[in-house]
Amino acid sequence: MRSTLIIRTVARVLSPLVLTFGLYIILHGHLTPGGGFQGGAVVATGIALLMVAHPPEYVRKAFRHGVLNVVESGGALGFLGMAILGLMGYTFFRNTIANSGFLLFGEGTPYGINLGTLNTGGTLPYMNIFVGLKVMAGLSAIVLLFLLSKGGDGK
Amino acid sequence: MIVEYLPQQFVQNLPALIIAIPLLGAFIAPLLKKHGRAAAGWTVAITGVAFLLAILLMDYVRASQGGMVVYVFGADSPGLTLPSGYTVPVRIMFQIDGLGVLMAFLCTLLPFLAAVYSVGFARKETGLEKYYALMMLMTVGMLGMVLTGDIFNLFVFLEINSIAGAALVGFRNYRGEAAEAGFKYIAISAFGALMVLFSIGILYGKYGNLNIAYLSGVIEYSRLDLIALGLLLTTFALKCGAAPMHHWVPDAYGEAPGSISMMMVISSLSSLYALIRVCFILFGGIVISLPAVGWILIIMGLISMLLGATMSLIQKDIKRFIGYQAVSQTGYMVMAIGVGLAVMGDPVAMQTYGRNALTAGLFHLINDAIYMGLLFLAASAVIYAARTRNMDEMGGLARKMPYTAVFFLIGAASIGGLPPFSGFASKLLIYESVFAFNPVLAVVAMVTSIIALAAFAKQFAAVFLGPPLSNLKRVRESPRSMLIAMAVVAFLTVLFGLYPQLVIDWLVRPAVEAMLNLAGYGAWGGA
């Protein structure tokens, strides 16, 4: 069954915006409200929109359940790995990258009122990204299972 | 002391590792899709390592000053609770004392045995990688609940424990009843979790902190705090399966696969731990002048004992039968702890029998976890072999499954309070200590024990003795891994019955000291 013209058009216009907004929330998790979970849920919403708008055989080809599972586990393991980084001399969950001068997210945090520097935060942005991956993959896998389950449009 | 010979860095981070390693196991297990045996081996290894870490942790806590270890997550060093300039603790921390160590011992031992049992028991199921991942996640939830020193953290781990538990209860989703039991469990868990969250909100709004040690120092006798106490008390009583909130227990325990029933027992007991923590430490300052709280627990305990024992008599499903007996056994612990709580404000009574009641309650907690686990494992082995849950359709199984029959008999004798098994030792302690408080309690406890013994004698005879039934001709003894797990639990049941003093000195007494050491628990809290 094909979706209606309205759904297809709205999905075409909205899904890039939704996905970008989700990624924005994930990446700015350490500066603005929201974070990995919220951003991941927004990205998954965009993916759900794409899944609904496209025919099932196309969705089945584009999103593989096995791949989503691996991404989900990978996100969780990455999160745990960032926490374990702290065990090198400090404690579990110690933010070892913040203010260390490391290339990504390791810049020193400026003091006082400012607009927020993206390249700070140490392990926090990494954790947000990993949680975002996990939530995005997990929620998408759920929607995919419902969409392609027997009795649905997937046949 | 073993920990003296290990690197300091490793020993100091034990509280984090004991959580991190099962978590790592749970995240890797889903990758072993379609490799059920590999997932099983991985889980046995991970839970085994967790058990060894729990033993080391016990040693570390014992060797530490004041019998307590504080681990601050994300700090520069594990013991840095109040960095310079701070007057109240802000970071999430684990605070591990004798009571936490006792629970950590059980919360790692039973999942390990459940994993060993599952190797043979669950091999024909599908989706095994999810089963084992959830099993390790549930272990993490229980361990976190019993080790944490932060009340919001307690809520998070309670949720992990409940959600993983509910998914496992409904794991055999091809059985409609299992899905129903899982749904029932998640519904009551969600309801309970909301009540916990609400009371945490009350405490956070009022005191602006979530640390148990800090809160225990500032809590006051006000209406708002009493509402929080009531909500926490009710929720944890609900989650530990005390009557009159026991209705989910027979469903959840009965429908879960056998290994998971054993884990559900310890999961309920970690809620009982949370109840103890809330009453004795978090609200210890006001509960000491509120004997009514103790009496509430005593009455809940009495109802649980009688209701569980009598309801079990009319069950036909072997696991529902044991599930009702589990409610009855929870009643013993709740009652003994209630007696300790009711006399907390009276130093003389506390010294003469209050301490003994608490010792008896905690000793019974250990024994209950172990022989209930044994009974569930043996009953599931019977179901696995006979392919029926109805005890009327079983008979003469002792000829076909002699080992399983012996293990079931050991469990039944222990729950019935026969010497020399572990149930006898702890029940005798309970009778003695609660008799001094109020003889009626001891009488009810004894009557319940007799009912349990009679019920198990009847069911054992019905299931295992007599001529073999024609529909059970092809029954064979359980696979080896199931027998090994049952043998270990049965051995512990006999060991704890023969040498109760060993367990009491090694595990229970430090735990009772920790329960009553309110001043020591909150000493560094900065209040």
* B74/A91 CB distance under 8 A: yes
Task: Pick the residue from chain B with its C-alpha nearest to A65.
Answer: B33
Task: Pick the residue from chain B with its C-alpha nearest to A95.
Answer: B74
Distance CA B505, CA B499 (A): 10
Q: What is the pLDDT of residue A153?
A: 46
Query: Is the minimum CB–CB distance between B90 and chain A shorter than 8 Å?
Result: no
DSSP of B41-87: HHHHHHHHHHHHHHHHHHHHHHHSGGG-EEEETTSSSTT-SS-TT-S
Distance CA A110, CA A124 (A): 16
Q: pLDDT tens string for chain A (155 positions)?
A: 578 899 999 999 999 999 999 999 999 999 999 899 999 999 999 999 999 898 888 888 888 888 999 999 999 999 999 999 988 888 999 888 888 888 888 888 888 888 888 888 889 999 999 999 999 999 999 999 888 876 544 44
* A91/B30 CB distance under 8 A: no
**Short-list A69, A138, A42, CA closest to B163:** A138
Which residues in chain A are contacts of B24 at CB distance < 8 A?
A: 77, 80
CB B124 within 8 A of CB B36: no
Q: What is the pLDDT of residue A155?
A: 41
Q: What is the pLDDT of residue B206?
A: 94
Q: What is the pLDDT of residue B208?
A: 92
Distance CA B233, CA B226 (A): 10
**Short-list B362, B499, B360, B495, CA closest to B427:** B360
CB B203 within 8 A of CB B156: no
Q: What CA–CA distances, in Å, run from B146 to B143, B172, B233, B364, B372? A: 5, 29, 16, 18, 20
Phi, psi at residue B386, to the nearest 5°? -85, -15
Selected residue of B8, B10, B18, B27 to mutate for chain A interface (largest A Cβ count, 10 A)? B27
Please report the beta strands in B141-285, taking only residues with DSSP state E, as ranges in sequence order. none
Query: Is the minimum CB–CB distance between A41 and chain B shorter than 8 Å?
Result: no
Q: Determine how many CB atoms are found less than 10 A away from the CB of residue B424.
A: 19
Which residues in chain B are contacts of A73 at CB distance < 8 A?
A: 27-28, 30-31
Question: Which residues 17-36 in chain B show a CB within 8 A of chain A?
Answer: 17, 19-20, 23-24, 27-28, 30-31, 33
* A95/B74 CB distance under 8 A: yes
Query: Is the minimum CB–CB distance between A84 and chain B shorter than 8 Å?
Result: yes
**Short-list B413, B414, B408, CA closest to B477:** B408
User: Per the structure block, which two tokens stand in for B389?
Assistant: 């849950």
Distance between A17 CA and the closest CA of chain B, angstroms: 32
Selected residue of A91, A94, A133, A149 to mutate for chain B interface (largest B Cβ count, 10 A)? A91
* B30/A69 CB distance under 8 A: yes
- In this prediction the ipTM stands at 0.88
* A93/B73 CB distance under 8 A: yes
Which residues in chain A are contacts of B93 at CB distance < 8 A?
A: none
Q: Which helix (H) or strand (E) holds A129?
A: helix A123-148
Q: Determine how many CB atoms are found less than 10 A away from the CB of residue B253.
A: 29
Which residues in chain A are contacts of B71 at CB distance < 8 A?
A: 91-92
Task: Pick the residue from chain A with its C-alpha nearest to B92.
Answer: A93
Distance between A3 CA and the closest CA of chain B, angstroms: 32
* A91/B31 CB distance under 8 A: no
Residues contacting B108, CB < 8 A, separation 6+: B18, B47, B50, B51, B53, B54, B139, B143
Q: What is the pLDDT of residue B475?
A: 83
Q: What is the pLDDT of residue A150?
A: 60
Q: What is the DSSP letter of B506?
A: I
Q: Which helix (H) or strand (E) holds B212?
A: helix B212-218
CB B136 within 8 A of CB B498: no
DSSP of A34-89: --HHHHHHHHHHHHHHHHHHS-HHHHHHH--HHHHHHHHHHHHHHHHHHHHHTTTT
Q: What CA–CA distances, in Å, run from B483 to A20, B258, B377, B409, B478? A: 55, 13, 9, 14, 7
Which residues in chain B are contacts of A69 at CB distance < 8 A?
A: 30-31, 33
User: Mind listing the pLDDT tens digit for each residue in A14-24?
Assistant: 999 999 999 99
**Short-list A125, A97, A104, CA closest to A30:** A125
Q: What CA–CA distances, in Å, run from B159 to A155, B138, B164, B211, B282? A: 36, 10, 8, 18, 20
Q: How many CA atoms lie within 13 A of B314 on its CB side?
A: 4
Sign (positive or negative) of CA dihedral B183, B185, B186, B190: positive
Residues contacting A111, CB < 8 A, separation 6+: none
Q: What is the pLDDT of residue B277?
A: 94
Q: pLDDT tens string for chain B (527 positions)?
A: 788 888 888 999 999 999 999 999 999 999 998 888 999 999 999 999 999 999 999 999 988 888 889 999 988 888 888 887 788 888 899 999 999 999 999 999 999 999 999 999 988 888 899 999 999 999 999 999 999 999 999 999 999 999 999 999 999 888 888 999 999 999 999 999 999 999 999 999 999 999 999 999 899 899 999 999 999 999 999 999 998 899 999 999 999 999 999 999 999 999 999 999 999 999 998 998 899 999 999 999 999 999 999 999 999 999 999 999 999 999 999 999 999 999 988 889 999 999 999 999 999 999 999 999 999 999 999 999 888 888 888 888 888 899 999 999 999 999 998 988 999 999 999 999 999 999 999 999 999 999 999 999 999 998 999 888 877 777 888 899 999 999 999 999 999 999 999 999 999 999 999 999 888 888 775 44
Surface-to-core class of residue A21, CB atoms within 10 Å of its CB (0-12 exposed, 13-18 middle, 19+ buried):
middle
Task: Pick the residue from chain B with its C-alpha nearest to A124.
Answer: B74
Q: Determine how many CB atoms are found less than 10 A away from the CB of residue B348.
A: 9
**Short-list B161, B168, B134, CA closest to B146:** B161
Q: Determine how many CB atoms are found less than 10 A away from the CB of residue A149.
A: 10
User: Per the structure block, which two tokens stand in for B328?
Assistant: 């009855």
Task: Pick the residue from chain A with its C-alpha nearest to B25.
Answer: A77
Could you state, in order of their start, the residue ranges of all structural domains in chain B?
3-521
